[in-house]
Amino acid sequence: MKKHVNGTELFVQDQGQGAAVILLHGFPLDHRMWQAQVESLSSHYRVIAPDFRGMGQSSIPVSPMSLTNYAQDILALMDELGIEKATLGGFSMGGYVAFALLRLAPERFSGLILANTRPEPDGQEGRKNRMNMAVSLYDKGAAAARDAMLPKLVTATTLQEQPQLVDSLKLIMDSMPAEGLVHASIAMAFRDDSVPLLSTISVPTLVIAGEQDAIAPPDVMKSMADHIQGASYHVIPAASHLTPMEKPDVFNALLLNFLKGIKA
Ligand code: MLT
């Protein structure tokens, strides 16, 4: 369904009943990347999977975005949906937004799941790559992000052996509005350093890495987990970046086990 919040229209999948779990997607994706998690969790939890402004079915931004702006959209959405407190899960770009949410309103979250994400900001080279991505998005449309990202999202074995998964991934990426992805690229290029935030996180935290993830490598994720008090850290074998889609059974088992221990 679509909701008018914070001066925009956001698409959100809202499924199940119980304690709320918000799942924030990555780039260049939308809520559909969480399909296996929504199916698995929604018999016990209220699962909220929004599309960020300018991605999926949400409206295109009309002015430049920062990660803080995406986070403000999510807070407004929580208000609109009557969710006072939730467990927050962020995958990659969704993790960057989760960090921004914890800066803005830590009291709204009772647990944290960080999947395949990293706390450091981009360096100069990273920013330059984002600018190049923005230019190719204007030249080639969403295919620019699809072609650059696909080989980094799943392992070479998955690319070869799971054509159905690859097809559904392509379907999601091809449906992205290119201009929305430009906004997201620029927002990520200039995101805050979240390293100082890590030691202030006081909610139960689950950190999930993919063994072959080159975007958020396991050693970076391990160091992130080490800076969060009491965080539990897991590496999913034979997985690349997109662990929730590539290894849904292992990912869901970790999630369900973690959620059982959280007080709403
Ligand atoms: C993502 O999966 O959201 C992106 O890889 C994040 C990034 O490019 O930093």
**CATH assignment at residue 91:** 3.40.50.1820
Under 8 Å between Cβ of 166 and 242: no
Is residue 218 situated within a structural domain? yes
Which atom of ligand 1 is least distant from the CA of 26? 3
**φ and ψ at 127, to 5 degrees?**
-65, -40
Question: Tell me: the pLDDT tens digits for 75-104?
Answer: 999 999 999 999 999 999 999 999 999 999
| Rounded distance between C-alpha atoms, residue 51 and residue 59, angstroms | 9
The minimum-distance atom of ligand 1 relative to the CA of 93 is: 3
Residue 262: what pLDDT? 84
Backbone angles phi, psi at 89, to 5 degrees: -120, 130
Distance of alpha carbon 246 from alpha carbon 155, whole angstroms: 9
Is 146 a domain residue?
Answer: no
Number of domains, the chain: 1
Q: For ligand 1, which residues put their CB under 6 angstroms from it? A: 26-27, 92-93, 188, 215
Picking from 154, 142, 151, 119, the residue whose alpha carbon sits closest to that of residue 248 is 154
Q: What is the pLDDT of residues 22-66, one digit of tens each?
A: 999 999 999 999 999 999 999 999 999 999 999 999 999 999 999
Kindly give the distance from the C-alpha atom of residue 27 to the centroid of ligand 1, in angstroms, as a whole number: 5
CA within 13 Å, CB half, 112: 30
> CA 108, 113, 118: angle at the middle one, nearest 5?
110
Q: What pLDDT score was predicted for residue 60?
A: 97
Residue closest to 153 by CA, chosen among 138, 169, 140: 169
Residue 29 in any domain: the answer is yes
**Nearest CA, atom 9, ligand 1:** 93
| pLDDT tens across the length of the chain (264 residues) | 999 999 999 999 999 999 999 999 999 999 999 999 999 999 999 999 999 999 999 999 999 999 999 999 999 999 999 999 999 999 999 999 999 999 999 999 999 999 999 999 999 999 999 999 999 999 999 999 999 999 999 999 999 999 999 999 999 999 999 999 999 999 999 999 999 999 999 999 999 999 999 999 999 999 999 999 999 999 999 999 999 999 999 999 999 999 998 865
In a domain, 50, yes or no: yes
Q: How far is the CA of 240 from the centre of ligand 1 (A)?
A: 13
- Distance from C-alpha of 74 to C-alpha of 70, rounded to nearest angstrom: 7
Count other Cβ atoms within 10 Å, centred on residue 126.
Answer: 13
Question: Rounded to two decimals, what is the model's pTM?
Answer: 0.98
Does the residue 200 lie in any domain?
yes
Strand-pair partners of 234: 208
| Domain interval for residue 52 | 2-121+191-259
Tell which residue, 209, 203, 211, has the closest CA to residue 254: 209
Strand partners, 89: 23, 113
Q: Are 122 and 188 within 8 A, CB to CB?
A: yes
251 falls within a domain? yes
Atom from ligand 1 closest to the CA of residue 153: 2
59 CB-contact burial (10 Å; exposed 0-12 / middle 13-18 / buried 19+)? middle
94 Cα to the center of ligand 1, angstroms: 8
> What is the Å distance from ligand 1's center to 18 Cα?
30
Residue 126 is assigned to a structural domain of this protein? no
Can you say how many angstroms the Cα of residue 125 is from the centroid of all Cα atoms in its chain? Answer: 22
* Interface pTM, i.e. ipTM: 0.96
Alpha helices in 12-153 (DSSP H): 35-41, 67-80, 93-104, 124-140, 143-153
What's the rounded Cα separation, in Å, for the pair 6 and 146?
Answer: 29
Nearest atom, ligand 1, residue 241 CA: 2
Q: What letter would DSSP give residue 192?
A: P
For residue 263, the model assigns a pLDDT of: 65
Residue with CA nearest ligand 1 atom 7:
93
Residue 65 counted as domain residue: yes
The preferred substitution site among 215, 220, 242 for testing ligand 1, maximizing ligand atoms within 8 Å of CB, is 215
CA distances from 210 to 28, 219, 220, 237, 257 (A): 18, 10, 11, 7, 18
